[in-house]
Amino acid sequence: KNQVEQSPQSLIILEGKNCTLQCNYTVSPFSNLRWYKQDTGRGPVSLTIMTFSENTKSNGRYTATLDADTKQSSLHITASQLSDSASYICVVSANFGNEKLTFGTGTRLTIIP
């Protein structure tokens, strides 16, 4: 069964610190991996999309890495800001010929001043 597991479930860090969120998946055959940011009361917003051949992608202070061999991805946030407080969702796509996205349950990140 295709699964996406994220860790930690929740994380609290001080403003200005860095943090790394983890995503492990068992989805196969792999097509792409996405990271989304979901603010409270809002829909998810795309941060990065990576295919099999990409092992790193950045979007401002957000950097995602992908190791397709170990089926692991991480999202690194640099110099965190209060506005980074949100849930971060990892989504993996399996290529069955139609859409098959498997969503993780997310990591709830809280930045405190």
Binding mask 27-56 for another protein (x = CB under 8 A): ----xx-x------xxxxxx--x-x-----
CB-neighbour burial class of residue 107 (10 A; exposed 0-12, middle 13-18, buried 19+): buried
Among the listed residues 22, 72, 85, 102, the single contact to another protein using CB under 8 A: 102
Residue 44 CB, nearest approach to another protein (Å)? 5
Q: Does 17 participate in binding another protein (rule CB under 8 A)?
A: no
Q: According to the binding rule CB under 8 A, does residue 11 interact with another protein?
A: no
Number of neighbours of residue 51 by Cβ within 10 angstroms: 13
